[in-house]
């Protein structure tokens, strides 16, 4: 039986609790291997945006360039899946990317007379839908006279490639007292809503199973 037969869409899943960050749904009659596949995909198989490459134009902070790039990569970014493509699936098929698969964010701290912390709100994005989920994530501390100036390029990626692209911080499957009934709990990093993660996760598992079936049928021929 197909995965789609079990999970049509979110309306066929019973929502137990839901807020902006966290959502729990009841999976009824979904075989354990499918439920577990969905749990894993929700954790690290749904694409979200993260900074992938950084051009350091100026960095006089005490943090090495690599450290600064790493910190920028770990800032969770709000993601719009409807408008952007993963680079491997984008029509441009170019290393440089295009406006459908890449977003530039710039940060120019200037210098200051006092010691201060550069926060994520200083990252300015060329696309308003792709920006840090919070304005208060510390990036680097600057002493008087120090400054950083960087150009960051963000793209969609998956947590299976690097943890900075994880779509959820928590994705768990718990048993209930009824047979054949489990609870999937997903807590988002903030890049997507937990609802979007579960919906995209259902699509992803369906597609993977479809591809797998296709592969098997080709082997048989």
Residues binding Zn ion (CB under 5 A): 90, 92, 98, 100-101
Distance CA 6, CA 3 (A): 5
Q: Which lies closer to Zn ion via its Cβ, residue 86 or residue 135?
A: 86
Q: In the complex with Zn ion, which residue's Cβ is closer, 76 or 87?
A: 87
Of 211, 212, 193, the C-alpha closest to 46 is 193
Give the shortest CB-89-to-Zn ion separation in angstroms.
9
Distance CA 127, CA 129 (A): 6
Compare residues 79 and 146 and give the one whose CB is closer to Zn ion.
79
| d(C-alpha 156, C-alpha 9), whole Å | 23
CB of 80 to Zn ion, least distance (A): 15
Q: How far apart are CA 118 and CA 110, in angstroms?
A: 10
The least CB distance from residue 100 to Zn ion, in Å, is 5
- Closest to 43 (Cα-Cα) out of 160, 130, 156, 154: 160
Question: Residue 131 CB, nearest distance to Zn ion (Å)?
Answer: 20
Q: Least distance to Zn ion from the beta carbon of 132, Å?
A: 22
Q: Which of 180, 31, 54 is nearest to 63 (CA)?
A: 54
Q: Which is nearer to Zn ion, 92 or 173 (CB)?
A: 92
27 or 101: CB nearest Zn ion: 101
Task: Give the residue with the Cβ less far from Zn ion, 60 or 100.
Answer: 100
Q: State the nearest-atom distance from the C-beta of 158 to Zn ion, in Å.
A: 17
38 CB contacts (<8 Å, ≥6 apart)? Answer: 7, 27, 30, 184, 198, 201, 202, 205
In whole angstroms, what is the distance from residue 54 CA to residue 75 CA?
13
Q: What is the maximal distance between C-alpha atoms in the chain? A: 72
């Amino acid at each position: 039986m197909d995965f789609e037969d079990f999970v049509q869409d979110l309306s066929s899943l019973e929502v137990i609790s839901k807020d902006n960050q966290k959502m729990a749904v009841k999976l009824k009659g979904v075989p354990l291997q499918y439920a577990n596949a969905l749990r894993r995909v929700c954790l690290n198989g749904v694409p979200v945006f993260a900074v992938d490459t950084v051009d350091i134009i100026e960095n006089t902070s005490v943090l090495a360039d690599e450290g600064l790039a790493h910190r920028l990569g770990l800032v969770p970014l709000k993601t719009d899946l409807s408008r952007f493509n993963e680079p491997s699936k984008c029509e441009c098929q170019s290393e440089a990317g295009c406006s459908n698969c890449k977003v530039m964010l710039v940060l120019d701290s200037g210098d200051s007379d006092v010691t201060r912390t550069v926060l994520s709100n200083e990252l300015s994005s060329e696309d308003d839908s792709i920006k840090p989920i919070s304005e208060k994530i510390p990036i680097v501390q600057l002493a008087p006279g120090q400054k950083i100036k960087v150009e960051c390029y963000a793209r969609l990626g998956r947590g299976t490639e690097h943890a900075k692209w994880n779509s959820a911080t928590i994705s768990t499957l718990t048993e209930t007292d009824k047979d054949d009934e489990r609870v999937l709990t997903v807590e988002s990093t903030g890049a997507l809503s937990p609802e979007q993660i579960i919906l995209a996760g259902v699509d992803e598992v369906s597609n993977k199973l479809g591809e797998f079936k296709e592969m098997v049928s080709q082997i048989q021929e």
